[in-house]
Amino acid sequence: MTPAPSAPTGGSTRGALYALGAYLLWGVLPIYFLQLKPTGPFEVVAWRIVLAFVFCLLLLTVLRAWRPFLAIVRQPRLMVLTAVAGVLIYVNWQTYLFGALTGHVIETSLGYFINPIVTVLLGVVVLRERLRVLPWIAVGVAVAAVVVIVVGYGAFPWIALTLAFSFGFYGLVKKQIGPAVDAVSGLTLESMWLLPVAVIQLIFVANLTGITLGTAGTLHTVLLLLAGAITAVPLLLFASGARRVPLTVIGLLQFVAPIIQFAIGVWVLHEPMTTERWVGFALVWVALVMLSVDSVMAARRQRRVLDDVVEPV
């Protein structure tokens, strides 16, 4: 019995570059969103929803993907799951924008550092997966990090935890959806479900402070109109990359975005980093190293088992 041919090196390299591009774009998003001032987080999220929906409709047309999209629409289970995914990604977007536009970029990065640990916990609690010893230790270290930040820094990191758990549950829902819904169709439906929320928010903002689109200069208008593409492009790059490279590679690359966000918060925006925050972040990084080491070791063990199963030619 001969082993199945491995994926071409070029395809794996291209996939890794796609995924890296997605995380790089996600990492520099704070800089982009800060350029949208004086637009507030509620208006930004509203336009992000509307323009992402329009952008996805154009993509469906260009890619001639309306037939699979309409096939998804005819399946009630998938429609319900995409609605739940839409609510979760809305919570994530709104929290992230609030953090990015109110001087909490460092805390948003903490949320995405914690996210892999939350994903592990959800796997245990919801999917009844079993953890090895090292991931359990990593979870304990991460909990200790949050305690250090709360007690030492004197503030509950609600932005970070909301981001981590909303995106963790979002990933869980997407796992339930599986390959039945492609990236473009998924984002189209999630944005579609959120359109009423976006309209309500725009009405609210219009009556409270006034809509800023088209009132703060040409550059600001262009940047705000790009919100749909800025939302969709990284997601599509990530989807393309995830299909071509092993999950362990994606797991290691996912730290690129919060590292960039952290660097922006500390060295570009000069947000405060007290000793307690440094200790808390250091503990989170230790936990992430543990998870990464365990993931790589598990992948190697699985590869050796498969090699042993394969008979020589």
- Does residue 12 lie within any of the structural domains? no
Give the distance, in angstroms, between the CA of residue 255 and the centroid of all CA atoms in the same chain: 11
Hey, is 2 helix, strand or coil?
Answer: coil
Does the residue 170 lie in any domain?
yes
Residues in the chain: 313
Tell me the pLDDT of the chain averaged across its residues.
Answer: 88
At 125-164, the pLDDT tens digits run: 888 888 888 889 998 999 899 888 888 767 889 999 999 9
d(C-alpha 146, C-alpha 152), whole Å = 10
Query: Does residue 10 fall inside a structural domain?
Result: no
Interacting residues of 295 by C-beta distance below 8 A, sequence separation 6+? 248, 251, 252
pLDDT tens, position by position, 49-77: 999 999 999 999 999 999 999 999 999 99
Q: Per the domain annotation, does 100 fall within a domain? A: yes
> 98 lies in a domain?
yes
Confidence grade of residue 6 (pLDDT, cut at 50, 70, 90): very low
How many other CB atoms are found less than 10 A from the CB of residue 207?
9
Asked if residue 94 is part of any domain, the answer here is: yes
Helix, strand, coil content of the chain in percent (nearest 5): 80, 0, 20
- Residue 7's pLDDT is 42
Q: With H, G, I as helix, E, B as strand and everything else as coil, classify residue 19.
A: helix
Establish if 64 belongs to a structural domain: yes
Residue 281 CA to residue 112 CA, distance in Å, equals 12
**Total domain count, the chain:** 1
Q: Is the per-residue pLDDT at 4 higher than 50? A: no
Judge whether 1 lies within some domain.
no
What pTM was estimated for this model as a whole?
A: 0.88
Could you list the residue range(s) of the whole structural domain that residue 292 is in? Answer: 17-309
Return the residue matching tokens 């993931």: 295
